[in-house]
Amino acid sequence: MDDLSLLSDLSLFLKEKKANGVKIVAYLAHDNIPEELLDAAGFFPLRMMFGGNDDLMDASHNFLPPSTCAFAQSCIGLYSTKPNIFSFLDLVDFFIVSNHCVSDICVSEIISKHFNIPRLDFYVPYTKNNSSLKYFKLELLELKKRLEAITGTEITNEKLFESINKYNEFKRVLLKVNELEILGSEKLKVLQRAMLYGPEFQPDLEKFIQYVRENPSSLLETSKDILFTGCSIFVNDNLVDLIEEGGGNIIFFDTWIGSHYSSQIINDSSIQTEKDPLDLLVLKFKDNIYGDHTVPNFLEQKVALIENYYQKYTKTKGRKLGVINHIIKFCDHISLLSSFLKERLQEKGISVLNLERDYSRANSGQLLTRIEAYLEMME
Amino acid sequence: MSLIADEIIQFSSVLRMAYNLLTGRNYLKRKKFREKEKLVAVTLPFSDLAFAAGTIPVFPIRMHQFEISQYLTYLGSASSIFGWNTVSNFLGFIRNLGINEISKIVDDIIEDVIDVINKKYNEMYDIGIENGISSDFCYGLKSLVGMHVTKGSNVDACLNVTIRCSAYNKYLESLKAINKGPKQIWVDIPPRNIGNAIELLTNNVSNAIKEFENLTGKTITDNQIRDHFKIGNQVKRAYKNIIYEISASDFYPCNPATFSEIMALLSISFQDYNSNAPRYRDNIMALEREMRERIRKGIGMDVADRPRIFVTPMFGGWEPKSHEIIYELGGRALYADWELLRMLEEIPTSSHSNPAEEYARFLMNATETGIGCDNDKLTDSYLRMARDLNADGLIFFQLFGCHSISNCYTMLREKVRRELEIPTTAITFNKIGENVEQVKTRLGAFMEMFR
């Protein structure tokens, strides 16, 4: 199941969707986008979660200065160069312009404007006080209205409840994947595929979990366990391979592709008691305490999460655990707080590698050396 | 620099502002320790609530000791006895007599004012990087981190207003990690004006006011807030008059490089009004009067034949030599960042108004029509400003590491060409003084278009 076949399968999958009259809404791979609402409106949410390379980054420079987040650059590159394996991007009907970070706004706006894809706006407040939660609901109402205008069909509460339940179930299964004791690269591929296909992939996920449980793989005792945090590893990015080549194994993905996404489950009691399903989406936003978009408590939450996991893991497994904080170059959120995160965790005796990089393949050797050096230090 | 110095001493208001900016440390120490006032760190022109609450807002760099010429200190002391106008007139008089030594002293004073600020900015930039902010961020953020690392522990609170720049918002979050002591007071501006967003922002402003009350232990009345808004409005009115009625006119009260220098000083000091709003108001109003008086008397320079070059953005860092270079190349540089971002809009102060709501409207207006929630709106702001200034050309400072504003240049260039049909160019900027030769070359090529 390599990246090429994943993308090729995805292409067929999306073509089939289109053939069935489903409209595709793409957005940069960040959280807080209400995929349940898109789903309830009959749209297919497509996350732009594709890693880049030198060519893709270079191709963005007609639009953006090179000192822009490498992921954002690559998203533009995908549209301006349209590599064959990404031809499915032509199928996108709408692009969401959102403000997860300011690069998200710029890139989504550029893609919409220059590649003639109608935009849907969805902006997210930065804090989480009462006013912000009410504002989030305003944005939900605006988006709902816009989607209804496009389809000419009302998004009923019933449909929205159904979608919320569907995504909730899907995330519960995904959580189990993150807990499986398998090779990190294998786990990542499953997570990536699941997050691209959405809840329709759930039956395959369940089969996969069943298979792994029945056929437990023996992980190398010599490999070093890694908790991976920071920026996600996107499709077509070889970072996980480099980590494994260096002697590490990611046992926990504390990234958006990983536990961060799958932990955003709305509790059942709220679903049963809440009359307005949009309020459930507001609740999900409120409870999304590990999202890097929000201020001012992201750093504290992140430190607490990593520390808890670390303590629990080292106690129950009796093994050392390293932390790799992945920083995609020029990423506002992860980069700015990275030195503080490292300092705070190191104060607690947790060693951290702040691994900053872009998608240049020429840096692979250098990255590998840094990873190897860090893993050696863990001994 | 002598020409600039020669011009600046004619404006006693500018000397006062410069003096107040550079000697902020002593003023702030007095306020904090003797008068037991609360200091509040502010960035960008968001000082209103801090003033209204009776606290002392400070743009953190001003807590530093500046290496100012001892003569400026003497000047400050003399002015406290004889008054600034007398001192300024005296300096102008002895300079006109041609006493070289005195002229040199005056030159030194002015050079100090301009260069010392920039040197300090660069120092803060280096400290920021040494203390963990990645060198990949923009000049402004790196300098701000440096300011808080060095002096942030002196403030009682930080007033944090979210804007569209995600790096800036994360920098605001990092403040409590840099210094644990100061209280963090937040105002989250909703990204768009939809539904009852104004009401929600009003709640956020009201909550911030409550936080200020907790900080000072004093109740803040609506009238107090209105009183400050009235002062702020006077400041903004004078600032706008200087931008529209003087900088866009064809006769300047001084040479264009001096004029730009003054505008740069206003841009920096507008963020915290040099920590004293009434004093700042008096100075900027006096500045406007002095300028008008000189123009009325025909003192100054006819600049009708000099193309108006709108230079922007400069608030997050820009090469301060640029206006001098543009001047030498036959043009004049216009600075108007705060007006472009709609930070010079007046706030209604009628007795039946709700000041928290009026401030919310002010912030929302700046967000919606100034800074913009996307680049389409932001670039419209640049176009509007260039149009209003009747600009002949636009120079865009593209800050290395700026992902918020610099990223709009491609869109801006297209719009400028299509809608304004004036030349435009981008100059990359990383650090003050780092690239002056390249800036010269770029500006040289750009200014050729006006010959």
Partner-chain residue, chosen from A123, A336, A344, that has the shortest CB–CB distance to B133: A336
Model confidence at B372, pLDDT cuts 50, 70, 90, reads confident
Mutation target vs A (from B144, B170, B211; most A CBs, 10 A cutoff): B170
Predicted pLDDT at A1: 47
Mutation target vs B (from A98, A102, A108; most B CBs, 10 A cutoff): A102
Task: Determine the CATH number of domain A164-377.
Answer: 3.40.50.11900
Residues of chain A found within 8 Å of residue B173, distances taken between Cβ atoms? 295-299, 337
A103 to B407: CB separation less than 8 angstroms, yes or no: yes
| Domain A164-377 in the same topology as domain A3-155 | yes
Model confidence at B349, pLDDT cuts 50, 70, 90, reads very high
B166 to A293: CB separation less than 8 angstroms, yes or no: yes
B411 contact A CB<8A: yes
Give the C-alpha distances (Å, rounded to integers) separating A190 from A9, A18, A235, B26, B208: 14, 24, 11, 62, 46
- Taking the C-alpha atoms of residue A343 and residue A331, their distance in angstroms, rounded to an integer, is 19
Mutation target vs B (from A110, A131, A132, A302; most B CBs, 10 A cutoff): A131
Neighbours of A318 (CB within 10 A): 7
ipTM field: 0.95
The b-or-e profile of A135-159 (16+ CB within 10 A means b, else e) is bbbbbbebbbeebeebeeeebeeeb
B170 to A330: CB separation less than 8 angstroms, yes or no: no
- Taking the C-alpha atoms of residue B46 and residue B371, their distance in angstroms, rounded to an integer, is 14
**At A328, which helix (H) or strand (E)?**
strand A321-328
What top-level class would CATH report for the domain A3-155? alpha beta
The one-digit pLDDT tens for each residue of chain A (379 residues) are 468 899 999 999 999 999 999 999 999 988 899 999 999 999 999 999 999 999 999 999 999 999 999 999 999 999 999 898 999 999 999 999 999 999 999 999 999 999 999 999 999 999 999 999 999 999 999 999 999 999 999 999 999 999 999 999 999 999 999 889 999 999 999 999 999 999 999 999 999 999 999 998 777 678 999 999 999 999 999 999 999 999 999 999 999 999 999 999 999 999 999 999 999 999 999 999 999 999 999 999 999 999 999 999 999 999 999 999 999 999 999 999 999 999 999 999 999 999 999 999 899 999 999 999 999 998 7
Please report the DSSP string for B111-169 in residue order. HHHHHHHHHHHHHHHHHHHHTT--TTS-HHHHHHHHHHHHHGGG-SEEEEE--S-HHHH
B68 to chain A, minimum CA–CA distance in Å? 33
B128 to chain A, minimum CA–CA distance in Å? 11
A131 to B136: CB separation less than 8 angstroms, yes or no: no
- Taking the C-alpha atoms of residue B284 and residue B279, their distance in angstroms, rounded to an integer, is 9
Residues of chain A found within 8 Å of residue B171, distances taken between Cβ atoms? 336
Predicted pLDDT at B110: 58
SS3 assignment, position B83:
coil
Tell me: pLDDT of B1 over 80. Answer: no
Q: Which residue is closest to B204 within chain A, CA to CA?
A: A131
- Quick one: which of B63, B217, B222 has its CA closest to B148? B63
Q: Please provide the size of chain B in residues.
A: 451
Predicted pLDDT at B258: 85
Residues of chain A found within 8 Å of residue B165, distances taken between Cβ atoms? 102, 332
pLDDT tens by residue, B415-432: 999 999 999 999 999 999
B407 to A113: CB separation less than 8 angstroms, yes or no: no
B115 to chain A, minimum CA–CA distance in Å? 28
B162 to A126: CB separation less than 8 angstroms, yes or no: yes
Helices (H), ranges, B182-276: 197-216, 222-241, 256-269
Tokens at B257, concatenated: 């490089």
B132 to A343: CB separation less than 8 angstroms, yes or no: yes
What secondary structure letter does DSSP report for B190? P
B136 to A132: CB separation less than 8 angstroms, yes or no: no
Model confidence at B261, pLDDT cuts 50, 70, 90, reads confident
B403 contact A CB<8A: yes
Residue A252 corresponds to which amino acid? F
For A238, phi and psi rounded to 5 degrees?
Answer: -95, 15
A341 to chain B, minimum CA–CA distance in Å? 10
What's the whole-number average pLDDT of chain B?
91
Q: Which residue is closest to A107 within chain B, CA to CA?
A: B407
Per-domain residue ranges of chain A: 3-155, 164-377
Please report the DSSP string for A77-141 in residue order. HHHHH--GGGGGGGG--EEEEE-SSHHHHHHHHHHHHHTT--EEEE---SS-SHHHHHHHHHHHH
**At A367, which helix (H) or strand (E)?**
helix A364-377
* Strand intervals (E) in B351-441: 393-399, 424-429
Residues of B (78-137) whose Cβ lies below 8 Å from A: 131-134, 136-137
pLDDT tens by residue, B58-107: 999 999 998 776 666 777 777 777 777 677 666 666 666 655 555 555 55
SS3 assignment, position B236:
helix
